[in-house]
Structure 1
Amino acid sequence: MSVTVRVPAKVNVQLAVGAARPDGFHDLANVFLAVGLYDEVTVTPSDELRVTCEGPDAAQVPLDRTNLAARAAIALAGRRGLDAAVHIHIAKDIPVAGGMAGGSADGAGALLACDTLWGTGASREELLEICAELGSDVPFSLVGGAALGVGRGERLTALEVGGTFHWVFAMAARGLSTPAVFREFDRLAEGRDIPEPVASADLLAVLAKGDPEALAAAVTNDLQPAALSLFPELADTLAAGRGAGALAALVSGSGPTTAFLTRDAESAEKVAQALGASGTCRTVRTAAGPVAGATVV
């Protein structure tokens, strides 16, 4: 018997970042939108815990116990007195180290798959608690849809969305380390007062209306200057997308994937074609959201 879970990528339509806390983390106001790029995580009983991976950039995915999917299996097994003896196979389609929560998606996918395989009967609340222990973005990967994340981003409130938003994602030639981007954020913020991060009331209102042009005027990412500082070439990708007619262009999360909001599916295809021909990125994908979170298939 095996269980397969499909789990989506995310884009941050707002990422407000507070000053570094004593524990090294940052308080966030993080407005997540799940989009239709998916990893599939399959778990099968095995003699021991092992992880395999296929798909774009699979060679960059760790296959040891540092992988969030492996850590999820170990965490759930530990709570139930079980042996985490499963083979976890990840079919990647979410960019690796791309700021779209691909690793977090795999952690949430493996957690739900192991819970289903083992029949642990864990409540949604317990699964979300384990997700929060694994990482800041993991709870949202389980939940999907649209949500506001506060604290480190792990405390979620579901948000109303009035329609479907169409996106283009441009994948860069190399990855960016999320911790490195936060360190650069701290460096750039030295000597400045950093306000407490809060969700934009205007942004939440336009999400509920489903108006892409209004949303385009409201999207923000406080990590974008840090990502551009570490990876200046991303500015060329952002300019190419704007020039092709995107309503908004921003770095997705900690980057280096860049995200372009468009008016509709037809506009997304036109922007994708232009970005693909621009020579400023490695690959281009289109996706719409919101979509459901981790789902057994």
Structure 2
Amino acid sequence: MTGIEIVEHAGAKVNLTLRVGRAREDGYHPLDSLVVFADWGDTITVRPASGLTLSLSGEASRALAGEGNNLVIRAARALQLAAGIDSGAAIHLEKRIPVSAGLGGGSADAAATLRALNRLWQLDWPIEDLAHLACDLGADIPACLYSQPLRMRGIGEWIELLGEFTPLFGVIVNAGIPVSTADVFRRFDAAGPAKLTESAPDLQRLPAWLAGEPNDLEAAALSVAPEIARTLELLAAAGQPGLVRMSGSGASCFALYSSRDAAQQAATMLAAALPDWTVVPVQLGAGQLGAGSND
């Protein structure tokens, strides 16, 4: 297997909607979210090696410097143990998704690592088995393993793939402000949230349905990082977006547009005005299960 190199895309996770209920007795919060994945994100590359190693590159990787137990390595070790093998791998993470940004970057990286090592080690595990293993690593990792439009419920482990989904065109913006998910949930809990009320996605009337749906964590995130309000305002003023919303627990926000060209024009305008921010035009919802390549 010398010379084999497997590459996996770790697409940014975008919560088009996010309903969250009050915490269960075990402390976890039930949720109901329509999730899509971007054609932009991180890249995982794996090669055969005697042990497990992780190297990093990319501007966003600076925030991970010094992490000896990165989620990528934890995922690799978990698969190695579950499969009962001692095969190793040299793992490289090209990091583009900002850390603590509400885009599931760490989860996407771990998921891409599991997919890549499943192929490198020729385990042939079905994606469902990888997702079961991933539940113990992080609530978002099972969804990121599929990287397809889906409805996520429970605490993230209940996945419903949506099948045919018309791709959306948008812009993702992050001001470089890391936001702690734990802090956001503490503020959310302090507000006395109600029991979760679920809402099945209406794909036939998607724009209208999205407009009526919330991100229940937005108010709590704004109290933690008031700067998010400016990101939302700038996106709302860039072109004519059909929807502007925060993703996940923040601080990244996104806007949806009627066409790829409209999204690109808005991104160009925002990038020129905000050179130090992450501003990316994206296609959402066209992810493919296990998309990757062998070199």
- Assess same fold via TM > 0.5: yes
Residue 50 of structure 1 corresponds to: 53
User: Residue in 1 aligned with 2:146?
Assistant: 143
Q: How does 1:150-165 map to 2 (within 5 A)?
A: 150-165=153-168
Q: CA deviation at 1:161?
A: 4.5
Verify the 8 A CA contact 1:19 1:26 in the aligned structure 2: yes
1:227 is matched with 221
Change (3 A) 1:208 1:63: farther
- Mapped partners of 1:294, 1:103: distance in 2: 17
1:252 aligned onto 2:255: no
Secondary structure, aligned partner of 2:15: strand
Corresponding letter in the other structure for 2:53: R
1:230-257 deviation per Cα after TM superposition (whole angstroms, max 9, x unaligned): 1111111211211222221111111111
Q: Distance in 2 between matches of 1:266 and 1:289?
A: 14
Distance in 2 (alpha carbons) for counterparts of 1:276 and 1:77: 42
In the aligned structure 1, how far is the partner of 2:151 from the partner of 2:276? 30
Count of residue pairs brought into register by the alignment: 288
Query: Following superposition of structure 1 onto structure 2, how do residues 162-173 of structure 1 map, counting pairs within 5 Å?
Result: 162-173=165-176
Deviation for aligned residue 1:47: 3.4
The answer for unaligned runs of 5 or more in structure 2 is none
Aligned residues with identical type, % of pairs: 33
User: 1:270 matched to which residue of 2?
Assistant: 265
For 2:87 and 2:67, the matched residues in 1 are separated by 13
Cα distance in 2 between the residues matched to 1:119 and 1:19: 42
Change (3 A) 1:208 1:89: farther
Change in 2 beyond 3 A, CA 1:76/1:255: same
Q: Which amino acid aligns with 1:237?
A: T
> Equivalents in 2 of 1:116, 1:78: separation in Å?
16
- Deviating runs (4+, > 3 A) in structure 1? 62-65, 277-281
1:64-119 CA-to-partner distances (Å, cap 9, x unmatched) read 45322111111111012223632210112223221111111110111111111111
RMSD of the alignment, in Å? 2.0
Q: What amino acid sits opposite 2:291 in the alignment?
A: T
Contact 2:11–2:42, Cα closer than 8 Å, also in 1 = yes
Closer, same or farther in 2 for the Cα pair 1:243/1:296, shift >3 Å? closer
SS where residue 150 of structure 1 aligns? strand
SS in 2 for 1:9: strand
Structure-2 residue corresponding to 1:85? 88
Residue 145 of structure 1: CA displacement?
Answer: 1.8
Residues in 1 aligned to 2:47 and 2:82: alpha-carbon distance in whole angstroms: 19
Provide TM-score, normalisation by structure 2. 0.90
Q: Deviations over 1:272-296 (max 9, x none)?
A: 2333344497121010121224323
Q: Classify 1:70/1:162 alpha carbon distance in 2 versus 1 (closer, same or farther; 3 Å).
A: closer
Q: Which segment drifts farther, 98-107 or 241-250?
A: 241-250
